[in-house]
Amino acid sequence: MPPVLEVREVVKRFGGVAAVNRVSLSLEPGRVYGLIGPNGSGKTTLFNCITGADRVDEGEIWFKGRRIDRLKPHRIFHLGMGRTFQVIRVFPELTALENLLVVTTSGYEEARGQARDLLGLVKLERLADEFAGNLSYGQQKLVELARVLMTDPDLILLDEPAAGVNRTLLNELLDAVRRLRDQGKTVLLVEHDMKVVMGLCEMVFVLDHGEKLAEGAPGVIQADERVIEAYFGR
């Protein structure tokens, strides 16, 4: 089966400094991948390149067999890519259900049914009619994930999904990610919580100073001396 996403020798510079330097990744359908690295290693910049928020200076990005590194973010979104952000972007004055409906182009009744199903996926169906601004931080993250899923993306990018989430809600989020994987979705997550990365991801990529330092199964990455040095040797 061909990769759902290919990042080929991508370079992104800011003021002459390479925030991402010749990074290549390949993601297969139906798997969960982790992207880790110290602060400032280029993780969010790479996410921005993949989603079109930042234009690459060199290299290519291919999604489902189509080159996308010159497309606008909304074009990439409509091809089947969804993303959450480090800073939550819910509409506090709308209910949890309404937060999902704002991104749909389906008929109202069909969309309501889909939105309720997705709130069920993240175990928030009982809070469907609660204003998002009244929900906890972790619950708002789950609403944001459910909203991303309203467009039925093939690739889901999660930016620090575990940050600030209590253990109970985190388990709900991780279970939801596993269910998405089982449905054939591909997930790429940036995460600082190593327990989450090692317990959820099947393959982990490590960035350091904008370059790919290592890639492999979680156990291999944990034992890699270069990774240990990058995190703890400073």
Domain of residue 223, CATH code? 3.40.50.300
Predicted pLDDT of residue 232: 62
Whether 26 maps to a domain, the answer reads yes
Whether 157 maps to a domain, the answer reads yes
Contact (CB, 8 A) for 83 and 161: no
Whether 37 maps to a domain, the answer reads yes
- Give Cβ neighbours of residue 4 (< 8 Å, ≥ 6 apart): 27, 28, 29, 63, 64, 154, 155, 186
Predicted pLDDT of residue 230: 79
Whether 111 maps to a domain, the answer reads no
Q: What global pTM score does this model have?
A: 0.91
Whether 127 maps to a domain, the answer reads no
Q: Which residue has the tokens 């003021």?
A: 15
DSSP string, 184-229: T-EEEEE-S-HHHHHHH-SEEEEEETTEEEEEE-HHHHHT-HHHHH
Predicted pLDDT of residue 220: 92
Whether 112 maps to a domain, the answer reads no
Query: pLDDT per residue over 61-80, tens digit each?
Result: 999 999 999 999 999 999 99
Which of 110-114, 164-168, 192-196 shows the lowest per-residue confidence on average (mean pLDDT)?
Answer: 164-168
User: What average pLDDT score do residues 207-218 get?
Assistant: 94
Position with higher pLDDT, 138 vs 201: 201
Contact (CB, 8 A) for 37 and 212: no
Tokens of 19: 């925030």
- To the nearest 10°, the Cα dihedral for 52, 55, 59, 62? 20
Whether 199 maps to a domain, the answer reads yes
Domain count, the chain: 1
Whether 197 maps to a domain, the answer reads yes
Query: pLDDT per residue over 85-116, tens digit each?
Result: 877 889 999 999 999 998 877 787 889 999 99
Range of the domain at 39: 5-89+153-232
Predicted pLDDT of residue 233: 62
DSSP letter at 12 equals E
Helix axes 43-51, 73-80, angle to 10 degrees: 80
